[in-house]
Structure 1
Amino acid sequence: MIDIYIVRHGETDTNKDGKINGASTDLPLNDLGKRQAQALHESFDINKIDRVYSSPMKRALQTAEIINNNHCKIQIDNRLQEIDYGDWDGLPADEVHAKYPQAFDNQGYLRDNYSDFCNGESYQHLAQRLQAFWQELVTDNHDNAVLLVCHGTVSRSLVQTVLGISDISQVMQVRNAGVISLRADEKTGKAFLRYYNRIAPAEFFIR
């Protein structure tokens, strides 16, 4: 079995200001984001992790570096970068919602058709690249514990994909520096959820 810990990056100013934070908005962590990552480092026993994977984006890689603290080499994978929101990247989310209400569901999440309005990456394309990443992950990590540091929508899409959830809107947003834990069978690739959206200080390693 493989234990997978998925971490959303710490806060950036784009998060703080309520703006859409996608692949074209590549800001580093702000002061709170750094403290969130440091709190994870202090609460998360990195010595129990065999491999660390990260999105190449500044906010994710910086979070990974703080948590990892030179424990092992961080493997950067472009498939973990955040979804590309196209023309909406970096814009205030409430302004986009007011102008394009048909692109949002009643929970405030973007619908599957959102990309029709902004030339963004579709949820389907995001799921395809994450499915390819997942297949390699389970093949290459027999009996390992792995840490993935990525993004909010990437985390939601990955959980949706590997757990077979029909609609990404059924997967809630992860808080900045929130942790999701999955356990997967490397023979079948099937996984089950152990916990969702846990933040430091907390116990992250469970039997």
Structure 2
Amino acid sequence: MKSKKIYLVRHGQTDYNLKGIVQGSGIDSSLNERGREQSRQFFDAYKDVPFDKVYTSKLKRTTESVEGFINLGIPHEMLSGLNEINWGTREGQVITPEEDAYYHWVIREWQNGNTTLPIEGGESPQDVYDRQKLAVEHIMSHEDEENILICMHGRAMRVLLCQVLNYPLHCMDEFEHSNLCLYLLNFTGSMFTVERFNDTNHLVPSEIGNKR
């Protein structure tokens, strides 16, 4: 298999991020003004990269985040496998102290290796890993695509990085992220390496957004 460069980014800020409201695969929110500015800044920094393809999830906040590249005429494909984790009954809810305690309990369970535990009414990290596998195989099957831009979501990005870098899934929280951050991955033909880790140098400091 040929070598590739994959520019993996999280979507820009939404009002849900700003207000601390849970959004997952069931919340199809748009970027807010800060998110749109983050999108513009990322485009300005990377518009000269000769991308062969843009991949996003099927949620519009990812497409809006890389709209500048799509408008250049770069082929674009939406894959449901790249959607955010389904946060179940918590989606669309303000994070109360009780909800925050439950969220952190679930995260600790995942960190302790119980990655098949779904959040109430939603998905587990293993569920996300399994549906992502088909998306990753699809993306990697196109040998003519050497420079790839992928825009997705925070928790789903952590799962994907574990998958391609062969990390145990319970280590996913080692991969920090913020709105419109970049992970630059190099695929050698047989393995992935990370060239840039949670890179936000294309954003001014005040634009670095919500990390959940």
Common topology (TM > 0.5) = yes
Amino acid at match of 2:76: I
TM-score by length of 1: 0.85
1:71 lines up with 2:73 in the alignment: yes
1:23 aligned residue: 25
8 Å CA contact retained: 1:13, 1:29: yes
2:163 matches 1:161: yes
Residue 206 of structure 2 corresponds to which residue in structure 1? none
Contact 1:26–1:57 under 8 Å retained in 2: yes
Which consecutive residues of structure 2, in runs of 5 or more, have no partner in the other structure? Answer: 204-212
C-alpha distance in 1 between matches for 2:80 and 2:136: 13
Unaligned runs of 5+ in 1: 203-207
CA distance in 2 between counterparts of 1:84 and 1:140 reads 28
Q: Offset of 1:46 from its aligned partner?
A: 4.5
Q: Distance in 2 between matches of 1:86 and 1:72?
A: 34
Q: CA deviation at 1:42?
A: 0.5
Shift of 1:173: 3.3
Q: How does 1:1-207 map to 2 (within 5 A)?
A: 1-95=3-97, 96-99=99-102, 101-105=104-108, 112=115, 115=118, 117-142=119-144, 144-166=146-168, 167-186=170-189, 188=190, 190-201=191-202
Which whole-Å CA distance do the structure 2 matches of 1:130 and 1:139 have between them? 14
Which digits, 9 at most, give the CA deviation of each residue in 1:69-103, with x for residues without a partner? 32312111111111111101122335312356532
Contact 1:163-1:192 within 8 A present in 2 as well: yes
Letter in 2 for 1:182: L
- C-alpha change, 1:168 and 1:89, in structure 2 (3 Å) is farther
Q: CA deviation at 1:104?
A: 3.1
Runs of 4+ off more than 4 Å: none
1:140 deviates by 0.9
The alignment's TM-score, normalised by the length of structure 2, stands at 0.83
Task: Say whether the 8 Å CA contact 2:43–2:66 is kept in structure 1.
Answer: no
Instruction: Name the stretch that deviates more: 86-95 or 47-56.
Output: 86-95
Deviation, 1:147, is 0.3
Say how many residue pairs are matched: 199
Q: Give the conservation status (yes or no) of the 8 Å contact 1:181–1:195.
A: yes
Question: 1:21, 1:46 → 2: CA distance?
Answer: 32
Moved more, 34-43 or 193-202: 193-202
Assess, with a 3 A threshold, how the Cα gap between structure 1 residues 99 and 47 changes in structure 2: closer, same or farther.
closer
RMSD (CA atoms): 2.6
Residues 43 and 200, structure 1, Cα contact 8 Å, conserved in 2: no
